[in-house]
Structure 1
Amino acid sequence: MSATYSAHPNLNRAVLQLALPTIAQSFFHTLFYLVDRAMLGHYSTDALAAFRLTSPLLWCISGLLSAFSIGSVALVGRAVGAGDRTLATATVRASLVFALGVGIAASGVSWLGLDRMLALFPGVTPEVYDAANHFLKIILFALPFDLLATTAAAMLQAAGNSRTPFVVAGIANLVNLGIDYLLIYGRGGFPELGVAGAAIGSAIAMIFNAGWLLWVLSRQQGVLSFVDQGKALVWSAAERLALSRVMRVAFPTLGERVCRSIGYLGFTAIISSLGSTAMATHEALLGLEAICFLSADGFGIAVAAIVAQRLGAGKPEEAMRGVFAGMTMAIALLGCFALLFLAVPGGLLRIFTQDDQILAIGIPCLAIAALAQPFMATSLVLEQALRGAGATRSAFVIATLGWFVIRLIATSSFVWVLGWGLAGVWLGSTCDWLIRAFLLLVVLRRGKWQKAIV
């Protein structure tokens, strides 16, 4: 890379200050579901099966809806960078109102289509089906609050405040843990509710998370607020214009998330064709790679905030330096994880399983995963940088190309034509990350993203 874009020490510090709490927050969100899974696993096999049934459905719904927060990140970051409090306030108001409306609509539609969604998983027992149905009905009630919390946290991060979402997420985890313990097992005089208890714990934690973050955004003295001159509930031309600008950035990301969900289903279908042992091995490998993914994505979110703020302040060169600072740190960190994958693959996989057959299949795949880490780090950071700049169409095109043209075709060829098994799956995903990283670097060096209209 050109020395022109070498990172300034202050930018390095800014990236780290934003990235570390964001990474920790991402781990808290993962822990949120791991706690439910662990407690239900100790409660009963049917309860755990019901939870596993609901997880991919909730992942798809939440992933699609969170796309709308990307537009808020780009516009809030620009407003904060330009010192335009009026635009920042209008964006916060518009984004929160829209998040609430979309959350309610999505919750209602999902509720009405619940039986059809669960029908995607034939062969489950009536007990598992009923438990999953009950779990989803409770969680869907809290879905609007979850989307409000996601949007509020994203805007605070875009304004440079990543500590508050991190702290709130940590406390919400404790709330979920406490309620799970009381309601799943019926401790302390509370009724034993099993799966429903886990759902209630998650729902209350989501509402708590949203309430605290909204309280933070209500403080007029804060960097970011939906209160201006003592007024909170205002809907004027400024809010309508802000919403249209948010949507212009968000819709390509929504398209990207739809394609990702479809591509992921196809990718999973290829893996499932290899049998239950391959699926179990893949799950163990994903558990290890998730640490890498969340770390790189945390740097990406930090870079997105810095890019949006620097472009808003009219400093595109600093935005570019921020991108390279975040990308370099992410590559270095994931490079360390890659060395660990190569040095002690068996020891790492034994965290998840003691099955010799899974270990034999998984160790070569972990070596392939190690090769992918620098490219995954580059891709995740640069995708977030483009989103922070508002250049979401470029990110959409490259991500869609990566899923459908590269990952699915490469993986199906390696698995079904060449017969390379699960190693072919991980080679296919590595090809995706490699080519995606190259294309994103080309887009970055051209510099058109610095002039994206938000």
Structure 2
Amino acid sequence: MTHFPLTRDIPSTRAVFNLAWPLTFKAIMLHGIVVIDAWLVSSLGEPAVAVLGLSASIAGLLLGLIVAFSNATQIRIAQAFGSGDRVFLKSALLAGLTINVSVILAGLAVLALAAGPAIEALAHDAWIADQARRYLSVFAVVILAEAVGQCLTGFFNGCGDTRLPALSYGLAVPVNIATSVILIHGHFGAPALGVLGAALGSALASMVQVGFLAVVLLRTRRDLLRTPGWRNGSFSASLRRHLVFALPIAATFASATIALHVCGLIYATLPVNQFAAMTIIMPWVQVAGTVGMCWAQATGIMVGQMLGRQTPPEDLEVFLAAAWRVALLAAALVATFYAGVILASPWLYADLSRETQMTLLGFLPILLVLPFPKGSNAICGNTLRAGGDTVYVMHIFIWSQWLFRVPATAVMVLWLDLPVIWIFSLLLLEELVKFPPFHLRLLKGTWKTAPPEP
């Protein structure tokens, strides 16, 4: 069996940074697509922004499933890479890719059947409903491309090569912006397609991104794909084992994403100005939040690799303490960025009404506090997952979302008709609910001596 060279050195903060910055760049580019689309269509008025918000809430359910299973594959890849087992590495890649494509094909079939009634029930008027249906019909291409692209991204990230996925988005985003601008407004003789133009731009960009990663994989890792044998004796057995490992992680991410987009669908019943404000701010929350989230994700990759080579618990503690200090600094930077975006919103979104702009300003106090508990919870969650404590992490996410945030959102919006500021504050309250169980479990320390997954 061929093994990769191993080291028992404790990774430095710089090593985590070298993993984290491409992850952050890639994530900003991914979420930035939505921010850019929202900014581009904001000149068409609040109804156009509402179309984007409604469509993104529905499509985001499937994109969340892709990210969920891909994150599970990423952890599995990190463990395989740390152990130096090429058969394990190949098995994790192909099993993850098979699961991603299968899940999304099934999801697209459900979307074809269920999206129409959901849009009719939630759209403010017939024009918004028609435009949302058109947007989703094109955005299905993005979803299918991301099923492959996110798995390949997880493979390169788990191997410590986070720059390639970042580069792939660096190539795709300019394509998205240029195509969207042309097709939204009808420049250079192209038809003015409005919101549909944004969907076409995203579809073309996604195909560029996944095509780049596929070509790189085939050119640089062809020998890995030809490695004989499977981790658990056969591909079907390896697929089952991968699925067993992935399900709690996938359920965690899927629950978070589904809860986010269920809340997004509830937001769609708000008055148009308030819904437009939520549609604008939520992508910014995700974009800036990726700084802390990707630092935590890079920390989890390193922990997975360290556990794969059986690093002593005391070395893990030293590494994690250093990573945590940087996480607090990242939270401060994110809070500062949020303040800049909110204070600049009258200029960024000058075409929107004053009511919408004042609503955005009201979000500022919450955004100044949110990054700190969120970043610390992310360090805990990624570390516990890397140590195999995936079911516990799943329970924290699921119960905080489905026993607290989602029902609280429904009550505030559908029954109490509270101001949107109170509804937005649930983002912070959810992180405070998760804070004690996450940190108590991490301090317990059983994840540091968990046996490696078969």
2:377 to 376, 379, 391: 379
Name the SS for the 1:315 alignment partner.
Answer: coil
CA distance in 2, matches of 1:296, 1:175: 27
1:445 to 443, 446, 452: 443
Letter paired with 1:396? M
Q: CA deviation at 1:100?
A: 2.2
In structure 1, stretches of 5+ residues that fail to align are 1-7
Post-superposition Cα deviations, 1:27-73, rounded to whole Å, max 9, x if no partner, equal 11122223333334446776544333211111122112321112211
CA distance in 1, matches of 2:214, 2:293: 24
Who is 1:160 aligned against? 160
Q: Does 1:22 align with 2:23?
A: yes
CA distance in 2, matches of 1:307, 1:429: 28
* Contact 1:107–1:141 (CA under 8 A) maintained in structure 2: no
* Contact 1:183–1:191 (CA under 8 A) maintained in structure 2: yes
Q: Does 1:334 align with 2:334?
A: no
Post-superposition Cα deviations, 1:368-403, rounded to whole Å, max 9, x if no partner, equal 432332211101222222233332211111112322
Q: Relative to 1, partners in 2 of residues 1:120 and 1:249: Cα closer, same or farther, differing over 3 Å? A: farther
CA distance in 2, matches of 1:311, 1:371: 33
CA distance in 1, matches of 2:109, 2:407: 36
Q: Mean alpha-carbon deviation: is it higher for 258-267 or for 21-30? A: 258-267
Letter paired with 2:102? G
Who is 1:141 aligned against? 141
Q: Between Structure 1 and Structure 2, how many residues are aligned?
A: 441
Q: CA deviation at 1:442?
A: 1.2
Q: CA deviation at 1:291?
A: 4.4
Q: Relative to 1, partners in 2 of residues 1:398 and 1:415: Cα closer, same or farther, differing over 3 Å? A: same
Q: Does 1:33 align with 2:34?
A: yes
Map 1:44-443 → 2, pairs under 5 A: 48-125=49-126, 127-188=127-188, 190-221=190-221, 227-228=225-226, 237-261=233-257, 263-264=259-260, 279=275, 282=278, 286=282, 289-317=285-313, 318-338=315-335, 347-348=343-344, 350=346, 365-407=363-405, 421-422=419-420, 424-425=422-423, 427-443=425-441
CA distance in 1, matches of 2:246, 2:268: 33
CA distance in 2, matches of 1:276, 1:45: 7
Q: CA deviation at 1:192?
A: 4.6
Letter paired with 1:429? L
Q: CA deviation at 1:189?
A: 5.1
Letter paired with 2:147? L
* Contact 1:391–1:449 (CA under 8 A) maintained in structure 2: yes
Post-superposition Cα deviations, 1:184-211, rounded to whole Å, max 9, x if no partner, equal 4444454554444333322222122112
Q: State the Cα RMSD in Å.
A: 3.7
CA distance in 2, matches of 1:47, 1:219: 43
Post-superposition Cα deviations, 1:404-436, rounded to whole Å, max 9, x if no partner, equal 445467778999999985554455433322342
Q: CA deviation at 1:341?
A: 6.4
* Contact 1:82–1:312 (CA under 8 A) maintained in structure 2: yes
* Contact 2:28–2:288 (CA under 8 A) maintained in structure 1: no
CA distance in 2, matches of 1:46, 1:239: 49
Name the SS for the 2:225 alignment partner.
Answer: coil
Who is 2:4 aligned against? none
Identity %: 20
Q: Relative to 1, partners in 2 of residues 1:77 and 1:241: Cα closer, same or farther, differing over 3 Å? A: farther
Q: Relative to 1, partners in 2 of residues 1:48 and 1:25: Cα closer, same or farther, differing over 3 Å? A: same
Q: Relative to 1, partners in 2 of residues 1:410 and 1:182: Cα closer, same or farther, differing over 3 Å? A: closer
Q: Relative to 1, partners in 2 of residues 1:307 and 1:240: Cα closer, same or farther, differing over 3 Å? A: farther
Q: Relative to 1, partners in 2 of residues 1:196 and 1:446: Cα closer, same or farther, differing over 3 Å? A: same
Q: CA deviation at 1:352?
A: 5.2
Q: Relative to 1, partners in 2 of residues 1:348 and 1:76: Cα closer, same or farther, differing over 3 Å? A: same
Letter paired with 1:436? K
CA distance in 1, matches of 2:38, 2:279: 14
Q: CA deviation at 1:332?
A: 1.2
Name the SS for the 1:387 alignment partner.
Answer: helix
Q: CA deviation at 1:309?
A: 0.8
Q: Relative to 1, partners in 2 of residues 1:173 and 1:269: Cα closer, same or farther, differing over 3 Å? A: closer
Q: Relative to 1, partners in 2 of residues 1:372 and 1:24: Cα closer, same or farther, differing over 3 Å? A: same
Q: Relative to 1, partners in 2 of residues 1:371 and 1:180: Cα closer, same or farther, differing over 3 Å? A: closer
Letter paired with 2:132? A
CA distance in 2, matches of 1:45, 1:285: 14
Q: TM-score, normalised by structure 1?
A: 0.83
CA distance in 1, matches of 2:131, 2:102: 28
CA distance in 1, matches of 2:112, 2:73: 27
* Contact 2:328–2:375 (CA under 8 A) maintained in structure 1: yes
CA distance in 1, matches of 2:116, 2:52: 16
Letter paired with 1:31? G
Letter paired with 2:157? Q
Letter paired with 1:99? N
CA distance in 2, matches of 1:398, 1:352: 37
Letter paired with 2:162? S
Q: Relative to 1, partners in 2 of residues 1:242 and 1:424: Cα closer, same or farther, differing over 3 Å? A: same
Letter paired with 2:25? A
Q: Mean alpha-carbon deviation: is it higher for 201-210 or for 264-273? A: 264-273
Name the SS for the 1:66 alignment partner.
Answer: helix
Q: Relative to 1, partners in 2 of residues 1:240 and 1:149: Cα closer, same or farther, differing over 3 Å? A: same
Who is 1:13 aligned against? 14
Post-superposition Cα deviations, 1:291-320, rounded to whole Å, max 9, x if no partner, equal 442111111221121111111111153444
Q: Relative to 1, partners in 2 of residues 1:306 and 1:185: Cα closer, same or farther, differing over 3 Å? A: same
Name the SS for the 1:113 alignment partner.
Answer: helix
* Contact 1:292–1:337 (CA under 8 A) maintained in structure 2: yes
* Contact 1:284–1:349 (CA under 8 A) maintained in structure 2: no
Letter paired with 1:305? I
Q: Relative to 1, partners in 2 of residues 1:124 and 1:389: Cα closer, same or farther, differing over 3 Å? A: farther
CA distance in 2, matches of 1:10, 1:235: 27
* Contact 2:68–2:253 (CA under 8 A) maintained in structure 1: yes
CA distance in 1, matches of 2:362, 2:238: 50
Q: Mean alpha-carbon deviation: is it higher for 255-264 or for 382-391? A: 255-264
